[in-house]
Structures are given as C-alpha cells and as structure tokens.
Chain A
C-alpha cells in the first residue's frame, strides 16, 4: 500500500467512522427496543443526543476533564487512523490502551466516589480486553509474518483459517468493548445500573459528547479488526461481522445482568482457552506460517 492510499484510508476513517459508528449505535438501539417489543427511538437518535450534549452548559467537576477527554478522543481517532492507513497493528493496540488511560484519568480527576469506582472498573475492563488484542496482533504476525495491516490485507488466505480461536475470543470481548453486557462496569448503556454511568458519571455536555464520539470510533476499530480476519474475502467478512453484532445485541438482551466479576472470569477463560491455545497450536505446528 503506497503513501497516498494510506493517507486516504486514514482520512476516510476519520470522516466516515463517526457517521457509520453513530448509525450502528442507532440501529443497535432500535433492534434492542424491538427485542423488548418496543418501537424504539429513530435511527438518528445518537446524533440528536450528541448535538444536544454539545449545546449544554459547560460544567466541570474538574477543568482537567476537558483536556483528558480530548486526549481520549484524539488517541482513539489516531489508533483508528493507523489501522486504516495500513499501519502497525501493535501500535493500534497500544494507542487504544493509552486512550483508555486518558478516560480513566478523566474519571479519577472528578474525585467523586461513583466516578472513582467507575474508573476502577474501566481499568478492569481494559485489563480484560487488552490480552486478547495483543494475542490478536501476535496471531496475525504468526500467520502473515508482519504486524502491518497492509501486509495482512495483501495475504491471499484469510487469517480466520488459522486463527478461529482468536477470532472467537475477540468476539467475546466485543461485548465489553461495545459497553454492553457487564451492567455494573464502566459505562454500560442500561438505564438501571449500579454506578449510574460509572466512568462518565461526572462528565457532562461536551466532555460527555467527546466520550460518546470516541466510543463510535472504537466500535468501528474493533469491527474492522474482526474484518481483518477475512482479508481475502471481505464480503464474507462483512456478513460475519454483521451476524456477530446482531448476536451481541441478542446476548445483551438475554443476559442484561452480567456483573464485572463474571466478565473477568469468563473473558479471561475464553481468552486463555481459545486465544492462547490457538496461538500455541499454531506455534507447535510450524511457527510463522509464511
């Protein structure tokens, strides 16, 4: 992939990801409502929400929030831009982890009890999600011999053939990354939860809008990572990703009261059994395949 393509990929991501991410979140809310036999909000509802938040009064628990939430948004956008410009997958994973650190710091900065507990649980969330993202980068390296997304895309066999375990583990982590199932962790979208929006509980107006926007970026990043498994067959990849997202919503509605302890246990078990075993088997069978 040459420089022009890389730049185009990054710019397209920066512009389109919020639009698509917002639409996905709107469709998500409508589907959730239908599963509960309600009508649900309009598909454009997330955009109305953000626009409203942008016009709220600027009230801060701590002015530092402004810088920290901006840092969160910028770093997530950056890691997405690296991913879509065909850059280093490891860099994407670490930029993603760093961005969450900013969000956690923003929550700690408020120095409020709910916010602090929210920050701690967000930290647990990062701790749970990070191992599988690193395994993912390692897996791609073993299959294609490169950490670069451009090389992974150029590969003629889809990585899913060699990494089904890692893919399933990533699918499991998606629940956490979409801020869905553990209702008492970080900032799940459920109305009645233990921490009333956890990590964002002291954010309001623009700072909250930035966190929401960053969340849309992140959704696209994770979905794109799933798509990466189907580099040689993008159409099949898109279908699989759509099915995965639907299953995610279904699971969220079936198990709305998953706690953070259950999440840590189940996701680490899944990561260990599926992800790590997959990588180990690959290693035993022949190390780097290419």
Chain B
C-alpha cells in the first residue's frame, strides 16, 4: 500500500465539512469516466445531466419540487439516525401517507372546500406515522430489528397501493390504467411560482426544516437521543428513556415521509397512481448522510440529489441513457462520502521513505 491510515488525536472538524465536497468531486470524476466509457462526450453529457435541467425557471421549479420531498423525509429520518434508530422504510411510509391522503381526497371528491387539503395533510402524516409505529412497536416490545421490519413494510405498502389503484379506487374512466381519478381543485396544492409547477408543499418542507433545527438545537430530548446514539451505555446509566428514543425517531421519520407522500399526490401527480415516487424514501437516506444529519446540510444535499434525478431524466431524453443512471450516481455519492469520511478520524500518511 502506498498510504497508511494514522489515527488523528482529534477528529478533524474541517474534514466534517470538506468530505461531502470531496465526495461530490469524486462522484463527478467517476461520472465523467462512466460517460466516456459509454461513448458519450463527457462535456456534452455533463451539460445534459447537470446544466440543461436547470437553465430556466421551469427547470428550477422542477428542482424544488424534487428537492422538497427529499429534504422533508431526510429531516425526519435524521432525527432517528442521530439516535441510531435505523428507519429504512420511508418509501413505505410515504406510500401509506399518500394512500391515506388520497383516500380523503377521493372521499370528498365532489366537495369544494378549504379544509380538504388540511385534512389530507393530517391523514398523510398519520398514515406515515402508523406505518412507522409498527417497527417501533415491534422493536420496543420484541427487540425486532427496525431495519428489516420497516423495509419489509415497504413492499407491503406498495402492494396495498397496487391493489387500491387496480381495484376499488381505480378510475372508471381511466382506460384501465392503474390510477385513481384525478383530484379536483380543492385537493390540489396551489402553484407558488407562475410558469412552474412549484407547489405550496415546499412551505411544509421549510417549516419542517425550522422545526427540526429548533428541536435538535435546543431540546433536551434531542440531546438525550444524540447521547443514546453515540454511547448507548452512557445513556442507559443516565436513565434516558431508550424506548422513547426509538418511538420519537421512527414516528418523526414516518410523519415526514407521510407528508411527503401527501405532497406528491396533491402536488405534481394529482392522483394516486403506480409508481408514486422514484425512490424518494431511499434517496432521502443518502440525503440525510450527505447532509451530515444537519438541517442546513440536508437542505443542500437535497438540492444536489434532486439535480441527480433531473439529470437522469434529461440524460434519458437527450442521450437515450436510462433514467436509472441517477441511481448509480446516488449510490456513488454515498460511497464516496462514506469513504472520504475516514479522513475525519484518520490521516493519510505516505508509506514510502519511512519504514512503518
């Protein structure tokens, strides 16, 4: 080996913020290699992937639309992740939130009223929380791994949605497509920016951002949760309530994902359909990590991840590459982040010259 990892006496604060930037740079570098291997001009591909999607107002609006659910879910998940509560099933909680909110919208289909949307919001949050409560309950009562349970429930939620849009909730005039009726105006979030599809759901994400920021910064519970995450034994001795940590961690993530699901169907989609999300629930895990589990970091990371989604779509249209390319970039980003994080605690020292 050319280099040796030497433990630093103190974790490097500088690297905590530098390593995400390093990870982004490495992702772009590897992206360039991939594009070249695929026989694309890397410059053209980069333009299509990272510039083209956001060079007008409409594109910027799309960026916000995609960043909003990612940031919202990641904010919710970060509360649990800090306490080592691994909710990996946000995608399922999003689905159930959308089902609950969509149920309200369809129930009050003919109703024209201002309270339909708030009701949908509540239903969405509750739906997501209910789905997250299952792993929380099983973890606190039976010590069942929340990772595996929340994940299994993703598949259950998606099958439930599939049944609803193929069966009881299918649009009778939908030519047999697996989708519900288009929601009427009172169940659709208003547009915020003229000429874009940017909807009022963005505000919910910003409110959540402030709430999580305040919670993490000033609440005693958040402090206890963080201690529980860093040193479970110490938290035990201090008498911090471990079960409460698990419940708060999972329910926050569930509520956020449920609201994100409601935003999707009341925003850009406008109905219940299959599939609901391009994997926001999973991508949000990456957003939470790349954002260092910090609200501001999450905001920035969500914009980057949203750009990766848009880039994937644009690459599909312009370069005939599959949209799935964005998943490859997302995975690479997290790999590089985790890899460069080693520099927080270790120093790279060359092994030549000195006999180590």
A interacts with B: no
Residues in A lying within 8 Å of B, measured CB to CB = none
Residues in B lying within 8 Å of A, measured CB to CB = none
